[in-house]
Amino acid sequence: MTTITLTPDLMKQIENLSGKEPADPQKFVVKAVQAYLNQMRREKIQGETEAFSAQYARLKEAYLGEYVAMHQGEVIDHDPDLRTLHLRVFERLGHTAVLLKQVTEAPERELNFRSPRLERK
């Protein structure tokens, strides 16, 4: 286990957040780091999705109908079976965020739906 030392000012802010009861700094830091890592994963997957879209024509020629694993903007593996691909990529990279996506005949489109608004008279 690694020990992390927080500055007194940061500790005070953590303690003051909970209001009535002092916050458990250990739980707070673990939760904050987990939230940060989740955000980093979302941003990485967004980047990989953009790389997939930019390379779609080439991917379609080479991998149509297969699933590809995109990491750092490149295809690192492919397979017709998603589970097989997932297991292979996980064995190689562990919990690293990697986009696993099927190359289909037509690229996916982003659809935006407008939500109706109710007005009271």
Domain range list for the chain: 9-14+23-102
The CA-based angle 19-21-24, given to 5 degrees, is 105
Percentages helix, strand, coil for the chain (3-state, rounded to 5) are: 50, 10, 40
Mean pLDDT across 77-90: 97
Q: pLDDT tens for residues 5-18?
A: 888 898 888 777 75
* Residue 35 confidence (pLDDT): 94
Q: What is the pLDDT of residues 50-73, one digit of tens each?
A: 999 999 999 999 999 999 999 999
Q: pLDDT at position 30, please?
A: 86
pLDDT > 70? residue 23: no
* Structure confidence at residue 46 (pLDDT): 96
- pLDDT score at 109: 63
Closest CA to 69 of 117, 101, 47, 94: 101
The per-residue pLDDT for 117 is 65
Q: Work out the angle at residue 61's Cα, subtended by the Cα atoms of residues 57 and 62, and round it to the nearest 5 degrees.
A: 120
Task: Indicate if the pLDDT at residue 111 is higher than 60.
Answer: no
